[in-house]
Amino acid sequence: MKRSKTMEFGVGLFMVAGILGLVFLGLRVSGLTLSAPAQSFQLEANFANIGGLKPRARVTMAGVTVGRVESIELDTQWYDARVVLSLNSELEGELSRDSIASILTAGLLGEQYIGLSVGGDPEMLEDGDTIRDTQSALVLEELIQQFVSNMTSN
């Protein structure tokens, strides 16, 4: 009987360890957060060129991650990229209407992310608004092309 009890305990421990492992994978490895997705609000921004920006990319402000890219699609009216950003709800109504969204690159070859910087307009952006002021991604080929054409014109 005693052996059976320790065995039962072992199996129980085994299964609990399995569930804990899955929780670890969820929280630590895939970065799921327990906070409900309702605690965010969405802004839109149109970019002439998004370079290599991908959904789930970081949105930062002064280097601090404040949200992520929700979706990217082609705006067929203007033929530019419409990016939907999902930001922490604590920023709702705190960003001025002339805030700038620019696509930046982490390191020389790193992944691309969006950096927000605040403007001075007293009116604030609300859920679903569009950021007017945007800076497209730096495309290396275009830079080189400009550089070469400057060199030749000199």
Which residues sit at the interface with another protein, rule CB under 8 A?
7-8, 10-11, 13-15, 17-18, 21-22, 24-26, 28-32, 56, 58, 108-111
| Summary count for the chain: helices (H), strands (E) | 2, 8
The smaller minimum CB distance to another protein, of residues 61 and 95, is found at 61
Answer yes or no: are the C-beta atoms of 124 and 97 closer than 8 Å.
Answer: yes
- State the minimum distance, in angstroms, from the CB of residue 57 to another protein: 8
Q: Which residues are registered as beta bridge partners of 133?
A: 100
Which residue, 103 or 125, is less far from another protein as judged by CB? 103
CB of 73 to another protein, least distance (A): 19
Nearer to another protein, 32 or 148 (CB): 32
Rounded distance between C-alpha atoms, residue 134 and residue 136, angstroms? 6
Q: 8's torsion region: left (phi>0), alpha (psi -120 to 50) or beta?
A: alpha
Q: Tell me the closest approach of the beta carbon of residue 3 to another protein, in angstroms.
A: 10
Task: Tell me the three state secondary structure of residue 41.
Answer: strand
Least spacing, CB of residue 129 vs another protein, in Å: 26
